Amino acid sequence: MSRAMPQDSSAPRDAADTGRDGAAGANPPAARSEDATLFHPDNRRRSPDHARVYALYELVYTLVDFLAAACFIGGSVMFFFDSLMMPGTWAFLVGSLLFAAKPSLRLARELTYLRMGDVDRLAKRYEQ
């Protein structure tokens, strides 16, 4: 298996590597398999499959965020009425659980990336 020669890191690799002002490095290139680590900002650019996983998890993450906010707003309004104090308390609890789910979603996304990782690289690491 041949490996591509590393490029000069001082020069932009393509137009996507330059920012609006043309400065190199404004948008870093996609992560190489050797750079793949948990929560690496370029993991979502490793492949089209990684981009799809990122988009799906961001959609779910945003939905959870909206639901949590709605629970907190609803619970706050319910607290104005004595008869709705108990449902308001439950709304706060559900909102808190939804907010707690957010970091779990991020971790699940990163673990999904790891499962999608470069099998050849892992096999080479095992052989060493």
pLDDT tens per residue, range 24-57: 444 444 444 455 677 877 788 888 888 899 999 9
> Structure pTM?
0.60
Q: Which tens digit of pLDDT belongs to each residue from 72-124?
A: 999 999 999 999 999 999 999 999 999 999 999 999 998 888 888 765 555 56
Average pLDDT score, the chain = 76
CB atoms within 10 A of CB 60: 15
**How many Cα atoms are found within 13 Å in the side-chain-facing hemisphere of 63?**
7
Two tokens, residue 39:
């929560």
Q: Which tens digit of pLDDT belongs to each residue from 9-29?
A: 444 444 444 343 444 444 444
Whole-angstrom distance, CA of residue 31 vs CA of residue 40: 8
Please name the helix (run of DSSP H) or strand (run of DSSP E) that holds residue 110, with its range, or none. helix 85-115
Quote the pLDDT of residue 89.
96
